[in-house]
């Protein structure tokens, strides 16, 4: 969990041993510890929790090491491009995800045990923006002659197109909306996702070539599934969830000015909705609900605009620009089942909404929609609630009515499988196996919200896996078992090849085995990254000094300034600050060349490898003729990379 805001400015108090905990409690324990003293250090690579928490599975530690200057780029490549290549191995949208991803990686960051997480999002935004500024391109793989139909041009579909083109397969994208981007374009406001940068990251994928785009085409209506099966070697469903769940409250169904958050944001992002209701109530607590209330505060209301739901529910209707000029601030209220500090929206998003003048009523539940004689909602009846087994229960005697001329439900999304009923699992979604194949539908695959609504980055991560699955299917290969920790891992062997240090070919006839001087393998290195995530208690946290996070500037308007405030909210870090923030990474599970083991080894057994043999992950080695198994190198290793295992 991310560090609470009120703890981020505290000085460090970390200690390896508490007072009185400096001696063994029994002779038995002492004997058992002494019994391990014959062991010598080995170098064990594990996955850091940031990466283990990332639904895209990005090599976060890797590209932070590149930005900070610890890992050197391949010859002839500058740092920014190398970081971009490492980042986009998993995710082709660093500029977008650096801005809007809720960053579970930062919640998982082990630096939370020191003072405050590493600003992973801010460095990723710098990588993405720098790449767009410098015009970095993607490269496609050698053509295979295979064609894949991708249904949906949102983050999952576009990421899959990118990964499939890297493997050489041609792609056709069928998109029901007028433009590509999915929820990045139609579900997130432009002050959070700048449309020029979204267009740049989409175009970079299209520039890979052999990607045909058919917008305004709905499969199941305009194109039959059978036609896709006939003309393509595989079909990937990435259609997302475009219907919002209604409130489980009396009077919701059939009430015209009760709308979904999805429909509300789509009308705004299409540029059709210029103003909204005078009194807007949104029920939610997640990021979508925060977007709804923030947009409502920015739009305001105007006389002569008609009923707010008209433009939301009918995509043929657009407001005239003149309405915006007459807009007045709207009263906007957000209700949540959970307390503010437990809402699923990011903490800073909740704070921003409060600053913008949104009223947040927490720990309340909707009871009923209050209507006038014409059947329109004029208020929402709510009550304080308690949670029991994940279900809210109203507290008797706490009911109240919030006045409203527009009520928005942002409590979840669902799929629209009209015309595709054969794929419907009965819940408006499509079933998937662990390889993202559609069960019982050979040649059909699925990713994203249509499996289960979740994050944009989740769809991107699934796209990387399904690209492997489709590739194996097209080659008629058996699907490889996915690793326990299924992310984009740092590959030491690949890094050594890049640096011209690849191990020599091993000839068994020479009969040379088990020597540290033989260069037939990466000596005394164990890769457990595919199976283990390294926790904070395996690190030497005492190594790290208190270092405040380099914060991005944010343009968050006050309640008085919010009307028509559509400038970008998040300002990117300058290069110098991005490098400094990357330098706060503790490189959990992989050496970051601090020299502690070399300095503190009493036998001079641990030494730096020769400069011409050094690369990331191979900075130090051990002379086992000198090592006495004292464990000091392991104790002072900040990253937990050294384990006392040799000799077991």
Write a three-state SS string for 458-516.
HHHHHHHHHHHHHHHHHCCCCCCCCCCCCCCCCCHHHHHHHCCCCCCCCCHHHCCCCCC
Does the domain at 245-410 match CATH 3.30.590.20? Answer given as no
Residue 325 φ/ψ, nearest 5 degrees: -65, -25
**Triad 335, 340, 346: Cα angle to 5°:** 100
* Residues in CB range of 616: below 8 A, 6 or more apart: 65, 70, 71, 72, 490, 492, 495, 590, 591
Measured distance CA(623)–CA(426) in Å, rounded: 63
* Residues in CB range of 352: below 8 A, 6 or more apart: 290, 294, 554, 556, 569
* Residues in CB range of 254: below 8 A, 6 or more apart: 375
Task: Tell me the pTM.
Answer: 0.92
Residue 499, strand partner residues: none
Residue 615, strand partner residues: 618
Q: Are the CB atoms for 204 and 165 separated by under 8 Å? A: no
- Using 50 as the pLDDT threshold, list the residues of the chain that sit under it: none
CB neighbours of residue 231 within 10 Å: 12
| Nearest Cα residue to 557 out of 345, 335, 300 | 300
| Nearest Cα residue to 205 out of 243, 153, 250, 246 | 153
* Residues in CB range of 516: below 8 A, 6 or more apart: 523, 524, 624
DSSP characters for 148-196? EEEE--SHHHHHHHHHHHHTT-EEEEEESSSSS-THHHHTS-TTTS-HH
DSSP characters for 543-568? GPPP----PPPB----TTT-TT--S-
Measured distance CA(326)–CA(320) in Å, rounded: 11
Q: State the Rg of the chain over Cα.
A: 28
| Nearest Cα residue to 60 out of 582, 551, 617 | 582
Strand order, beta sheet including 642-646: 525-527, 40-45, 642-646
Domain ranges of the chain: 5-135+489-507+521-540+573-646, 147-242+415-474, 245-410
pLDDT at 10: 63
| Nearest Cα residue to 208 out of 174, 159, 175, 155 | 159
Q: Are the CB atoms for 332 and 357 separated by under 8 Å? A: yes
Q: Are the CB atoms for 187 and 262 separated by under 8 Å? A: yes
pLDDT at 645: 77
Encode pLDDT of 547-562 as tens digits: 999 999 999 999 999 9
Measured distance CA(461)–CA(630) in Å, rounded: 42
DSSP characters for 567-614? S-SBPPPPHHHHHHHHTT---TTS-----HHHHH-TTS-EEEPPGGG-
CB neighbours of residue 200 within 10 Å: 18
| Nearest Cα residue to 61 out of 568, 585, 514, 528 | 585
Burial class (CB in 10 A: 0-12, 13-18, 19+), 193: buried
CB neighbours of residue 393 within 10 Å: 13
- Match domain 147-242+415-474 to its CATH number in 3.40.50.620, 3.50.50.60, 2.40.128.110, 3.40.50.720: 3.50.50.60
pLDDT at 501: 86
Measured distance CA(210)–CA(213) in Å, rounded: 10
Measured distance CA(637)–CA(600) in Å, rounded: 10
pLDDT at 6: 59
Q: Are the CB atoms for 280 and 293 separated by under 8 Å? A: yes
**CATH topology agreement for domains 147-242+415-474 and 245-410:** yes
Could you give the dihedral angle defined by the CA atoms of residues 313, 317, 322 and 325, in that order, rounded to the nearest 10 degrees?
10
413 CB-side CA count, 13 A: 26
Encode pLDDT of 387-417 as tens digits: 998 899 999 999 999 999 999 999 999 999 9
Q: At which residue do the structure tokens 């890797």 appear? A: 62
């Amino acid at each position: 969990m991310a560090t609470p805001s009120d703890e981020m400015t505290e000085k460090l108090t970390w200690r390896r041993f508490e007072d009185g905990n400096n001696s063994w409690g029994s002779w038995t324990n002492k004997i058992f510890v002494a019994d391990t003293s014959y062991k010598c250090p080995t170098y064990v690579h594990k996955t850091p929790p940031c990466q283990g928490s990332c639904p895209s599975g990005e090599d976060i530690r890797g590209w932070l090491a590149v930005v900070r200057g610890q890992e050197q780029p391949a010859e002839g490549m500058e740092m920014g491009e190398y970081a971009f290549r490492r980042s986009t191995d998993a995710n082709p949208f660093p500029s977008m995800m650096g801005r809007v991803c809720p960053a579970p990686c930062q919640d998982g960051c082990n630096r939370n045990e020191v003072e405050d997480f590493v600003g992973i999002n801010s460095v990723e935004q710098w990588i993405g923006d720098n790449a767009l500024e410098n015009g970095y391109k993607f490269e496609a793989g050698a053509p295979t002659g295979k064609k894949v139909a991708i249904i949906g041009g949102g983050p999952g579909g576009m990421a899959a197109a990118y990964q499939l083109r890297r493997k050489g397969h041609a792609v056709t994208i069928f998109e029901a909306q007028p433009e590509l981007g999915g929820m990045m374009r139609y579900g997130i406001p432009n002050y959070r996702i700048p449309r020029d940068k979204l267009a740049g990251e989409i175009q970079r994928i299209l520039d890979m070539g052999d990607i045909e785009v058919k917008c305004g085409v709905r499969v199941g209506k305009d194109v039959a599934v059978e036609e896709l099966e006939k003309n393509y070697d595989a079909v990937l469903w990435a259609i997302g969830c475009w219907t919002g769940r209604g409130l489980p409250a009396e009077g919701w169904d059939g009430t015209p000015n009760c709308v979904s958050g999805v429909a509300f944001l789509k009308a705004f992002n299409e540029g059709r909705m210029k103003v909204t209701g005078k009194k807007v109530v949104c029920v939610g607590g997640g990021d979508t609900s925060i977007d709804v209330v923030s947009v409502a505060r920015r739009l305001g209301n105007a006389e002569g605009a008609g009923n707010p739901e008209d433009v939301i529910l009918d995509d043929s209707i657009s407001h005239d620009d003149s309405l915006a000029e007459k807009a007045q601030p709207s009263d906007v209220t957000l209700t949540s089942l959970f307390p503010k500090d437990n809402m699923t929206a990011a903490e800073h998003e909740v704070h921003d909404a409060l600053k913008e003048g949104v009223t947040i009523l927490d720990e309340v539940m909707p009871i009923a929609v209050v209507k006038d004689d014409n059947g329109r909602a004029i208020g929402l009846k709510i009550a304080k609630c308690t949670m029991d087994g994940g279900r809210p229960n109203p507290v008797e005697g706490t009911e109240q009515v919030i006045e409203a001329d527009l009520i928005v439900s942002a409590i979840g999304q669902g799929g629209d499988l009209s015309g595709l009923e054969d794929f419907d699992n009965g819940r408006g979604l499509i079933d998937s196996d662990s390889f993202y194949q559609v069960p019982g539908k050979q040649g059909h695959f699925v990713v994203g919200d249509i499996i289960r609504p979740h994050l944009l980055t989740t769809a991107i991560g699934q796209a990387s896996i399904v690209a492997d699955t489709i590739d194996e299917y097209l080659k008629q290969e058996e699907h490889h078992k996915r690793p326990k920790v299924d992310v984009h891992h740092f590959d030491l062997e690949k890094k050594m090849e890049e640096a011209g240090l690849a191990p020599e070919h091993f000839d068994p006839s020479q009969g040379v085995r088990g020597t540290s001087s033989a260069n037939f393998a990466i000596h005394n290195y164990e890769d457990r990254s595919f199976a283990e995530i390294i926790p904070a208690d395996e690190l030497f946290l005492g190594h790290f000094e208190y270092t405040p996070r380099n914060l991005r500037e944010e343009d968050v308007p006050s309640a008085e300034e919010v009307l028509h405030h559509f400038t970008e909210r998040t300002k990117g870090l300058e290069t110098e600050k991005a490098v400094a923030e990357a330098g706060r990474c503790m490189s959990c599970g992989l050496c970051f060349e601090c020299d502690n083991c070399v300095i503190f080894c009493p036998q001079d057994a641990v030494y730096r490898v020769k400069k011409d043999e050094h690369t990331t992950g191979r900075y130090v080695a051990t002379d086992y003729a000198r090592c006495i198994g004292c464990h000091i190198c392991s104790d002072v290793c900040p990253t937990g990379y050294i384990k006392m295992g040799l000799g077991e």
